[in-house]
């Protein structure tokens, strides 16, 4: 017989709820009222947006406004009365906390130093030791224009990239864990052979073709001289989103050249050792942006595509399969506890901030999918106001994450609390 406790637990899971470290990522359940005992209604995913008219000063985040937003946002999110109690409800003095930031687009648009400092201050108020706080992104050199200084010493807050080596098209580079990886045939030579035999490339579009030959780029980086001849063209095509014929020419050119080749570990995408070995909990400080490869990038993509190797291949379906696959890995799913979404400045065109919109808000949630759902709507609104086309159709990873139980994208299941500070 199913007990009442088991029924409530199953109901929460059925709506996309995920219990992390013994605490719900969602807000308080709202019980139905009737004359008979009944199970509570499914808990809603709480998202808090804190707005301030002075959030930006001369185009940069304004510290007094950010600090007000963090105090109000975190207390509203957690239901605690003070900033210290809010942070202590999620983090303990024994935790090693990773702050996954976004350096791309700096200095124009990236995770702000002011928000990073607000998170550090909050963690310290909960008793987390300064050197047990790791601010990180992919590469050490990406910090150069962020206002942060790399620090790998045993003193102070640590600031570092996972590696000094570009990881996007290699199965493993230093700083990544060989023993923790996602296995996928997307973009592999093995899969390319199957697709070629099936006639796939005769009707495939640019994205499907390009991301099916990423094995060739990998092979070039691994030192194959025949593959190296194609790398300049692969680099060009990486951003030539409408050049289907250019990608098709590569398919035709390599059709029979590499039949004898086997690429070791080509199916693997290894995970950063920061998440697999160094931290106990993860805070996500993401920036709301448009991305040609996923439509919207905010909470889920900032982590998923920032923590793995060999990932260019995942763009074949605008990352709809890969992002939930990555976030469901225990090294992430069990450690993601807080998502901070910067949206005072929004990049409406590209991750580098080619075009910006102003919104003057910072978001807080423990459900990354709920935050992404709101972010997608907000980005759509800002792009529409600028006369840009919709990106909703290529932002399928949000719904995909919801279907896989990583959170909810149903606005009826999101408790969005809008506050002004």
pLDDT of residue 307: 98
Crossing angle of the two packed helices 214-221 and 189-198, in degrees rounded to 10:
150
Q: How far apart are CA 113 and CA 147, in angstroms?
A: 7
Question: Are the C-beta atoms of residues 187 and 211 closer than 8 Å to each other?
Answer: yes
Residue 343 tokens read as 């949206």
Tokens in use for 321?
A: 């399969």
Contact 306, 269 (CB under 8 A): no
pLDDT for 323 equals: 98
Q: How many CB atoms lie within 10 A of CB 164?
A: 12
Classify residue 137 as exposed, middle or buried by CB count within 10 Å of its CB (0-12, 13-18, 19+). Answer: buried
> How far is it, in rounded angstroms, from Cα 374 to Cα 45?
12
List the pLDDT tens digit at each of the 421 positions of the chain.
Answer: 434 334 333 333 333 333 322 233 333 333 333 344 555 666 899 999 999 999 999 999 999 999 999 999 999 999 999 999 999 999 999 999 999 999 999 999 999 999 999 999 999 999 999 999 999 999 999 999 999 999 999 999 999 999 999 999 999 999 999 999 999 999 999 999 999 999 999 999 999 999 999 999 999 999 999 999 999 999 999 999 999 999 999 999 999 899 999 999 999 999 999 999 999 999 999 999 999 999 999 999 999 999 999 999 999 999 999 999 999 999 999 999 999 999 999 999 999 999 999 999 999 999 999 999 999 999 999 999 999 999 999 999 999 999 999 999 999 999 999 999 9
Q: Sketch out the chain's domains with CATH numbers.
A: 46-174+270-420 (3.40.50), 185-254 (no CATH)
- Number of other residues whose CB lies within 10 A of the CB of residue 313: 26
Q: If DSSP states are collapsed to H, E and C, what string results for the chain?
A: CCCHHHHHHHHHHHCCCCEECCEECCCCCCCCCCCCCCCCCCCCEEEEEEECCCCEECCEECHHHHHHHHHHHHHHHHCCCCHHHHHHCCCCCCCCEEEECCCCCCCCCCCCHHHHHHHHHHHHHCCCCHHHEEEEEEEHHHHCCCCCCCECCCCCCEEEEEECCCCCCCCCCCCEEEEEEEECCCCCHHHHHHHHHHCHHHCCCHHHHHCCCHHHHHHHHCCCHHHHCCHHHHHHHCCCCCCHHHHHHHHHHHCCCCCCCCCCCCCEEEEEHHHHHHCCEEEEEEEEEEECCCEEECHHHHHHCCCECCCHHHHHHCCCCHHHHHHCCHHHHCCEEEEEEEEEEEEEECCCCCEEEECCEEEEECCHHHHHHHHHHHHHHHHHHCCCCCCHHHCCHHHHHHHCCCCCCCHHHEEEEEEEC
CB-side neighbour CA atoms (13 Å) of 394: 17
Q: What is the pLDDT of residue 361?
A: 98
Q: Is the Cβ–Cβ distance between 251 and 213 less than 8 Å?
A: yes
Report pLDDT for 39: 59
């Amino acid at each position: 017989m199913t007990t009442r406790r088991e029924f409530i637990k199953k109901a929460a899971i059925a709506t996309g709820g995920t219990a992390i470290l013994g605490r719900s990522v969602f807000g308080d359940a709202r019980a139905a009222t009737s004359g008979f005992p009944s199970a509570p209604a499914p808990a809603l995913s709480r998202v808090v947006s804190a707005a301030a008219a002075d959030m930006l000063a001369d185009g940069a985040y304004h510290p007094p406004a950010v600090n007000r937003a963090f105090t109000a946002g975190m207390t509203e999110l957690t239901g605690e009365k003070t900033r210290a109690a809010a942070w202590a409800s999620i983090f303990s003095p024994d935790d090693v906390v990773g702050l996954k930031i976004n350096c791309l687009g700096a200095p124009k648009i990236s995770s702000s130093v002011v928000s990073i400092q607000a998170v550090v201050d909050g963690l310290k108020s909960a008793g987390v030791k300064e050197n047990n706080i790791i601010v990180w992104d992919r590469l050490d050199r990406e910090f150069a224009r962020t206002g942060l200084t790399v620090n790998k010493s045993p003193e102070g807050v640590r600031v570092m990239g996972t590696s000094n080596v570009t990881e996007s098209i290699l199965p493993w580079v230093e700083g990544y864990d060989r023993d923790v990886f996602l296995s996928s045939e997307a973009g592999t030579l093995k899969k390319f052979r199957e697709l070629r035999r099936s006639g796939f490339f005769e009707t495939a579009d640019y994205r499907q073709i390009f991301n099916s030959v990423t094995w060739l780029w990998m092979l070039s980086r691994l030192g194959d001289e025949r593959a190296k001849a194609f790398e300049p063209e692969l680099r060009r095509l990486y951003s030539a989103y409408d050049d289907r014929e250019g990608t098709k020419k590569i398919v035709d050119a390599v059709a029979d050249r590499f039949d004898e080749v086997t690429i070791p570990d080509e199916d693997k995408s290894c995970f950063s050792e920061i998440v697999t070995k160094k931290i106990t909990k993860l805070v996500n400080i993401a920036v709301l942006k448009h991305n040609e490869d996923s439509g919207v990038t905010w909470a889920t993509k900032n982590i998923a595509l920032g923590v793995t190797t060999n990932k260019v291949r995942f763009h074949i379906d605008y990352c709809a399969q890969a992002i939930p696959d990555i976030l469901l890995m225990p090294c992430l799913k069990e450690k993601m506890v807080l998502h901070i979404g910067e949206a005072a400045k929004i990049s409406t065109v590209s991750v580098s901030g080619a075009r910006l919109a102003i919104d003057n808000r910072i978001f807080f949630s423990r459900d990354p999918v709920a935050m992404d759902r709101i972010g997608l709507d907000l980005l759509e609104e800002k792009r529409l106001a600028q006369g840009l086309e919709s990106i909703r159709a290529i932002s399928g990873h949000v719904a995909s994450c919801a279907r896989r139980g990583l959170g909810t994208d149903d606005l009826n299941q999101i408790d969005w609390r809008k506050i002004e500070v």
